Structure 1
Amino acid sequence: MTHLRIFLSLLFVCSLASLDAYGGTAQHALREREIKKGANIIAKLRRIEQLTEVAPDFESYKELIAKLYPDLFIEAADLREGDLKTDLTTAVFLYDEALQKFHDSDRAELNCKDEMRAVYAKLCASPQNNTTPKMLWARARLHTRWAVAVVDYNLGIRDAATTQTIDEMERERARDLALAEKAVETLKALEQEVCAYSSLREFEEKKALATVPFERLSKDVEDALLKVDLILNDLPRSPLFYSLYHARNSYCDGLFWWQKSYRQKEMVVNVNHFNRPDELKTLNLDASTVNYTIAINWRNAINHTRQAVSIIEA
């Protein structure tokens, strides 16, 4: 029994050593069930990949996407959090986004200067990816390739191509954190300008919605969201992405409602606005309810930003 325990201990240590060479922690290890799920999703993504290699027409692409979606979304969402889920989910979203933007190929050229990561900038600069759908397909293929490497590595394939792809993916995960830190910095600047309350009672006592005038906050939110959106465009679909995405949307929603209550206040003091319809009355909402909704959005934005910080620091 003692020898068996020693053997199992050594086996466990060897497994950790192998994982350490891969990504530094045991979180990269996949269960057999996860490997099978991942391989199944990859097989479906390969079908899309094969079609996009021959520059399909809209109807052909739409038909294939309709066959595979929404099942691909559901299957990817069912994976355990980790690199495999991040890259497969990202690829799934990118192929769907390409369908939504298929006709963008008839409009403006790609703006590669806004790319915030080198691997995407390289794809954008390629003449083969000279339209929005083609660029999105190229990104999807990249994330699929990373997912394939994760599956292969867990199946015991340790050749140079696999390990190099794993290394590339790990570098990009580090880049994810660096980009997210910039987004957090931008969002935290907004945090200093809004008033968030822990309860309705606290809100009713203080009532303030911001520490700066509406006009300034409106401009600052607009500028901040432009910066955050550029970062989100280059982040894969991971818990970190969604924390930042929800923080961004909470600020956007809060400002949306404040514009409505602010306009109502303008109507009271400005005779020139008498002919403008009262949006809150049209929606059957009173100002106090809307203002508390604004404060809740600020609080949600701050909480989501803190979630992002926790993920970065983990």
Structure 2
Amino acid sequence: MARVTLTDVSRTAGVSIATASRALSPREHPDVSRETRERLRAVADELGYRPSLAARAFRRRDFHAVSIVVPDGQWGWWEPAVRAAYGAARAQGCNAFVQPTTALRDDSGDVADVIAALAEVPTEGVLLFGSAADSRMLASAETLRLPVVAIDNAADEVVVPTFAADSRRGVQLAVEHLLDLGRRRIAYVGSDGDLLFQRERRESHRSTLVAAGITADPELVVQDLSADDPAVDVLPAVEALLASDASVDAVLCESDAVAASVLRSLRRAGRRVPEDVSVVGFDDSPLALALDPPLTTVHQPYEQLGLDAIELLLQQIDGAQAPVGRTRLAPTLTVRASTRRAPQ
């Protein structure tokens, strides 16, 4: 069914478009009588007319807004970045609308549909979390002439300007911290995934050890598809490693969620943390502080990701050009009680 427009209402009521617009405005207009206003609203109700929020907003020249599209149905790693982006946008007089989507990075069409629906939302640009490789998303945005900036560390190739934390540098910081503590048999535990950040973290674990003159033992790399589910009690592969190699004195985890299961596996194996084995996570999520002991972890610069991404998006809205590619921000290491110098 075709959308009922303001023109349809004005034609049916026999008045000009300007009069119809004034009569249907949320605020009473002095040039429109109460009788005319009530008649026009009755006609609009009968036709099923709904005003376009986008048109109304853009008629107000002082109104500016962006849309922030976030992945739904998973841990909100993006929450601090959204808060930072929202605050930065508001500080520059720009409103921000947050919209969820179930798509993560593939061409499922969900992200493209969300952006296509922005035709009815008063928005001038999109900050997208994930889906930076989605060509259908880009086509939808280009149709509406909306600039897009993404925060995404999973896609190999990106089709819009994208920001991400430097996973390689983060793992390097973690491994060097463990080496400085005298740890030498440093295992790596991660999910059996092939996303960009997963591959980069595994490879950085290996290359940092090699750069320090330590043999990168492939037997110390444990991959389990369920490893990043904090609800998993213990990881059999980790328990098998601990049973077969008592010399393991540190574990680097792909994420803080992985560390939760690793800590339980170590405890059941009778290995003390951090006295016998030091453990490091990645993300610095709220979970890191809730674990026992509190987790040493790589802090992703979520707030800075949000600030830099929204700044670039606002620049594009003002007419600036931004090259397609990924900008990496440096993470830092947050040291807590899960790491300690190795006993002599």
Structure-1-length-normalised TM-score: 0.25
Structure of larger gyration radius = 2
